[in-house]
Amino acid sequence: MGKHFHLYENISKVDPFEGPQYHLAPSWAFYLQTLFMGFVFLAGTPLNILVLLATAKYKKLRAPLNYILVNISFAGFIFVTFSVSQVFVCSARGYYFLGYTMCALEAAMGAVAGLVTSWSLAMLSLERYLVICKPFGAFKFGSSHAAGAVVFTWFMGVGCASPPFFGWSRYIPEGLGCACGPDWYTNDQELGTTSYMYFLLITCFCMPLSIIIFSYSQLLGALRAVAAQQAESASTQKAEKEVSRMIIVMVGSFVTCYAPSSSLFLRLQFNACIMEMVFGKKMEEASEVSSKTEVSTAS
């Protein structure tokens, strides 16, 4: 199946699967993306492999509380080896030359890895809340609980990334046309592209972030209560500062990584403004794009 996406006005309408997309942005933007993706691939692949190999070699690293950390590393490994690698080679050629099927698979794998990572961070904060704050009394966090948390992250990842394969929205080339993702460009009522974007906004961003904020705020509150009882204890005061710093880093990193995409789900016209401001390319309004999108099939 081939899909033609006419997103830009007064410029060449080259299919993103058939030729370079240098009409979307200056060539330096493609070179910069190629260098960045190459760096992410070369740095991320060995780091994630080292974590996985160390976990396999040393039994002490396979403690229940480390399951979710290994899960994050495994999701990262999948992301860099399957998605980042494809974006790297496609950016070097200026378009997604691997075809529609690989585009959909690349987008789906990237979505699964991203969702697994976001929910893993949420489960990590929840695990710490359960172990330290003990809301259920004498609760022992064991292997079955850790394994259940890991399974849940993959259930959410696969479950939330699969709908485009069954008619709810679709995966298409995005950005410079060298990577693929859910269709957040158009407002296709038949495919439900907008409703799917709101679905991802809730499941990928709002819900995990809410769990992270709740869990770490409870953890910080418990630690402050202990610190108040031991006001003269230097170690307790130091622990409170370290936890506070950890919370700021965790929440800040999560918001930094996921908020930009989540914001564009809500304000699609931001993409047009950014493209026009940075590259001088004017993009059509979403309603116009939806009406002009052409779909063709080939045996």
Span 172-187, mean pLDDT? 88
Residue 244 has pLDDT above 90, yes or no: no
| Residue spans per domain, the chain | 27-279
CA atoms within 13 A on the CB side of 199: 18
pLDDT at res. 139: 72
Length of the chain: 299
User: Average pLDDT, stretch 45-52?
Assistant: 89
Angle, helices 100-133 vs 85-93, to 10°: value is 140
Mean per-residue pLDDT for 201-222? Answer: 87
Whether CATH 2.40.110.10 fits 27-279: no
> Comparing 28-37, 53-62, 162-171, 222-231, which segment has the lowest mean pLDDT?
222-231
Residue 119's nearest CA partner among 65, 156, 66 is 156
Whole-number pLDDT of residue 64: 87
What's the confidence (pLDDT) of residue 216? Answer: 84
- In angstroms, the CA 128 to CA 252 distance is 18
Average pLDDT over residues 111-136: 88
What pLDDT shows up at residue 290?
40
Q: What is the pLDDT of residues 263-295, one digit of tens each?
A: 557 455 455 555 566 656 555 444 443 433 333
pLDDT at 4: 47
Mean pLDDT of 247-271: 58
pLDDT-derived band at 251 (thresholds 50, 70, 90) equals low
- pLDDT for the residue numbered 116: 94
Mean pLDDT across 3-14: 49
Per DSSP, helices labelled H in the chain are 27-57, 67-78, 85-93, 100-133, 143-161, 193-200, 207-229, 234-266, 269-279, 286-292
More confident residue, 237 or 116: 116
Tokens matching residue 244: 């506070």
Closest CA to 212 of 119, 108, 74, 92: 119
**Range name among 72-76, 154-158, 177-181, 266-270 with the lowest pLDDT average:** 266-270
| Secondary structure of residue 295 in the 3-state scheme | strand
pLDDT range class, residue 180, cuts 50, 70, 90: very high
Q: What are the angstrom distances between the C-alpha of 244 and each of 223, 224, 240, 256?
A: 10, 10, 6, 18
Judged by average pLDDT, the poorest of 112-121, 220-229, 263-272 is: 263-272
Structural tokens at position 19: 């030729």
- Greater pLDDT, 143 or 241: 143
* Contact (Cβ atoms closer than 8 angstroms) between residue 121 and residue 252: no
- Average pLDDT over the chain, rounded to whole? 79
Band (pLDDT 50/70/90 cuts) for residue 119 is very high
Q: Is the pLDDT of residue 147 over 90?
A: yes
**Does the pLDDT value for residue 132 go beyond 60?**
yes
Helix (H, G, I), strand (E, B) or coil at 72: helix
86 has a pLDDT exceeding 60:
yes
